[in-house]
Amino acid sequence: MRTTTWMAALALFATPAMAQRVAPVGGNAKRDTAQGPTWRADQLAVLAGTVTDSTGRPVPFASILPDTGSGTLAQADGSFRLAPLAPGPHGFLIRRIGYQPLAFEMEMPPGATVNVQLKLLPASLELKPVVVEGKRVSPALAKTGFYDRQRQGLAGYFIDPEVFEKRTMVATTDVLRGVPNITVSKDGTEYHVYGRGQRCMEIYVDGAPMGRDFDLTRHMPPAWVKAIEIYPSPNQTPPQFSRQTGCGAVVVWTKVD
């Protein structure tokens, strides 16, 4: 596989107009592939690179989302690798709580690895201390609606930040094993989460869809996690965490405050 290098400070393109040119996040809008070619494995492309802030520091856990299919996460050093991608034009959206979203479009050559350097600008909205029912809570979680959904008594399970602060666990999936109607199974070398009746579960990180095959055990250490919401069946899942796939949802919120 040949490597194509494409580098730019893409924060310059993080404007509402640019964002509107990218299809909805998470693959809800699919390209018309009915007449499209079938690509061999060696013809598929890869988007790789790093995500940093305006000072050059890595931005870990940023979501890298293509306009079709599932996304991936930047690692602790800001690096990421998104594959496989069909050759041709793609839209991408980069998201991280506390930063402005970044949208851009790119032509992916057949069989190429395209390397990019992505810069995120800090969000202008300051996260201020929040108190809920006499208890100091996470401003970032409050902004996402975590506490609102918890108070509304939705038919899900909410694992608060205190659990991750007090409990020692080897893997993030350890905290899911005691949740009713949730099963964690090892399939070969990967771990998957199943809901009620062994139903599939879509994984979200900071509100961005990672797909049902995202391995929380391998790619989401407990030290990165702030809180989790679990919805074991699709009819219990809030609309913002439903991709109309017939799956439930596990929503992971990472530490940003």
The string of pLDDT tens digits covering residues 22-63 is: 333 333 333 444 455 788 888 999 999 999 998 999 999 899
Last residue of a domain, one of 120, 152, 169: 120
Which range (57-71, 108-122, 126-140) has the least confidence?
126-140
Q: Does one domain contain both 144 and 106?
A: no
Which tens digits make up the pLDDT trace of 229-240? Answer: 999 989 889 999
Residue 125 lies in a domain: no
Residues 92, 135 within the same domain: no
- Highest mean pLDDT among 10-19, 25-34, 105-114 belongs to 105-114
The structure tokens listed for 156 are 């899900």
List the beta bridge partners of residue 93.
65, 103
Residues 177 and 219 in one domain: yes
Domain residues for 156?
A: 130-254
Asked if 112 and 137 sit in the same domain, the reply is: no
- In this structure, are 114 and 134 located in the same domain? no
Among the listed residues 249, 253, 242, the one whose alpha carbon sits nearest the alpha carbon of residue 26: 242
Q: What's the pLDDT score for residue 244?
A: 77
In this structure, are 67 and 97 located in the same domain? yes
CA dihedral 168, 173, 174, 175 (to 10 degrees): 80
Domain boundary among 101, 120, 139: 120
Q: How far apart are CA 143 and CA 130, in angstroms?
A: 10
Flag whether the pTM goes above 0.85. Answer: no
Mark whether 37 and 11 lie in a shared domain. yes
Number of domains in the chain: 2
